[in-house]
Amino acid sequence: MYVFPAPAQPSVAIRGSALRFPVHRIHCVGRNYAEHAKEMGSVAGLENPTFFSKPADAVVADGVDVPYPPGTTNLHFEVELVLALSGGGSGIAPERALDHVYGYAVGLDLTRRDLQAAAKARGGPWDTAKGFDHSAPISAIAPASEVGHPAHGLLWLEVNGQRRQQADIGEMIFGVRECIAELSKWYALAPGDLIYTGTPAGVGPLQRGDRFVAGFADIARLEGRIACAQARGVMTRRSRAERAPKGSGL
Ligand code: MN
């Protein structure tokens, strides 16, 4: 009954299971670690964390090459704890928030940092900087029924064998409960939603051929490589959004 075959349902592996987690939406939290907020030029403590999103089909599985995206010369890594929801709703109270968590994963919020800086400078939207194809690598999801609901645990990232980011998730400004409660004030959360909970300090660039390994405690592990070949749909160094005249309503 569709005019062409419906797009495939994006999904994520579940640790120790043949079942898969169907992705509904990808929500992201920005500025959720004080030290990272500072390195991005925010004055820590004066601003609440912020929210943005990525398309559901931006997920990239563990062990799969990530194409270097077009339209940027400054692709950045951001390692993050990812929440996978099996429940949802609006106006979720913090004390009920964990009831909606199916499990935990580690992921990368890949960012076209040059486009983000340009968007910030002109007060424009971040979409081209954040919500692009293949921008959300993610490990297998560890079910909370097996690993519980950790309040602490080391989140880390290595690039080409060098430790680049690490922090305890207890340092998050919005903890797991608050991320869910706050997001549910703005969006109806639903089963299949992923929440990338923000990155610690230490973000930096990835080049073609770089290998990354990320982990969260003994709960999740993600490996991958930035592909050596250029992604298709190559654009010039300055994206269309960047070239658009001021006030063009993009
Ligand atoms: Mn992020």
Helix/strand/coil (H/E/C) assignment for every residue in 132-162: CCCCEEECCEEEHHHHCCCCCCEEEEEECCE
Expressed in angstroms and rounded, the spacing between residue 240 Cα and the centre of ligand 1 is 23
CA of 183 to the centre of ligand 1 (A): 15
What pLDDT score does 239 carry?
45
Which of these, 59, 98, 106, lies nearest to 80 by C-alpha position?
Answer: 106
pLDDT surpasses 50 at 229: yes
- Cα–ligand 1 centroid distance for 80 (angstroms): 7
Q: What is the mean pLDDT of residues 54-72?
A: 97
Cβ atoms of 159 and 210 closer than 8 Å: yes
- pLDDT of 208 reads 97
Say how many Å lie between the CA of residue 138 and the centre of ligand 1: 13
Kindly give the distance from the C-alpha atom of residue 119 to the centroid of ligand 1, in angstroms, as a whole number. 16
CA of 199 to the centre of ligand 1 (A): 5
pLDDT of 81 > 80? The answer is yes
Please write the tens of the pLDDT for every residue from 212-228.
999 999 999 999 999 99
Please report which helix (H) or strand (E) contains residue 113, including its range.
helix 113-122
State how far the Cα of 86 lies from the Cα of 229, in Å rounded to an integer.
37
Burial class (CB in 10 A: 0-12, 13-18, 19+), 90: exposed
pLDDT band at 243 (very low <50, low <70, confident <90, very high): very low
Average pLDDT, the chain: 91
Running DSSP on this structure, what letter comes out for residue 238?
S
From CA 142, how far away is CA 221, in angstroms rounded? 10
Ligand 1 midpoint to CA 51 (Å) = 9
State yes or no: pLDDT of 247 exceeds 80: no
- Tell me how far the alpha carbon of residue 11 lies from the centroid of ligand 1, in angstroms: 20
223 Cα: distance to centroid of ligand 1 (angstroms): 18
**pTM score, two decimals?**
0.90
pLDDT digits (tens, 9 = 90+) for 163-199: 999 999 999 999 999 999 999 999 999 999 999 999 9
Ligand 1 centroid to Cα of residue 109, in Å, is 5
- Half-sphere exposure of 30 toward its Cβ, with a 13 Å CA cutoff? 16
- Structure confidence at residue 42 (pLDDT): 74
In the predicted structure, residue 160 carries a pLDDT above the cut 90: yes
At 45 the pLDDT is: 53
